Amino acid sequence: MIERRLRQFRRPHCGSVRIDETYVKIRGKWRYLYRAIDKHGNPVDFLLTAKRDLDAAKRFFRKMLKDDPLLSPNRIGTDGANTFPSTIKTSVDDGLLHPDPVHYVTKHLQQGIESDHFRVKNNMPKIGGFHSFNTARRTIAGFEAMLWLRKGLGFSGGWTIDDQNDLLARLFGLQKVNKA
């Protein structure tokens, strides 16, 4: 719920995104969390899937690009997963991406998103993971939303805790109690 409401306040990402997937344990099985950040380290989008296949990658790209098709990235960095080249081609054919996006596969540019996974996974249950896929999806959405808030929703400049509280109060119609 908080992720859906905060989504409208995010700044459009720059022309370059880095995409990666990480593992999350749910009911003793490993599931896949696709994540994207821009070149400045600001989160762009995420998707939790049961499988790591072509359909999951396509779903992630559709989710990531449906909000702002005019602001689709023209440079996409990924790891060596073999699903991404065909997913990028399909997204171009569907009109979600620029006609000639640059797809690069480099390890050193992926380090930003690899280290960004820590910010989300650090909060997850340590023993046994989540008990249901739905709980994991909702919890991770909350973690990502709080990460968007902490990083200022992609805007640079002073973003204090008081500013974050003001935004949350406006989103949910809450009263601020401790006004200084």
Write out the two tokens for 71: 């602001």
Secondary structure element (H or E) that encloses residue 107, with its range: helix 107-121
In 36-106, alpha helices (H) = 54-66, 84-93
pLDDT of the chain, 180 residues: tens digit per residue: 666 766 666 666 668 888 888 888 888 899 999 988 888 787 888 899 999 999 999 999 998 888 766 678 889 999 888 999 999 999 999 988 888 899 988 776 666 666 666 666 666 666 567 889 998 888 888 888 777 777 766 555 566 777 777 777 777 777 766 665
130 beta partners: 26
Say how far apart CA 89 and CA 101 lie, in whole Å: 9
- What is the model's pLDDT at position 109? 65
Helix (H, G, I), strand (E, B) or coil at 105: strand
Tokens 């023993």 identify what position? 127
Just give the CATH number of 2-172. Answer: 3.30.420.10
Instruction: Count the Cβ atoms, other than its own, within 10 Å of residue 45.
Output: 21
The pTM score is: 0.77
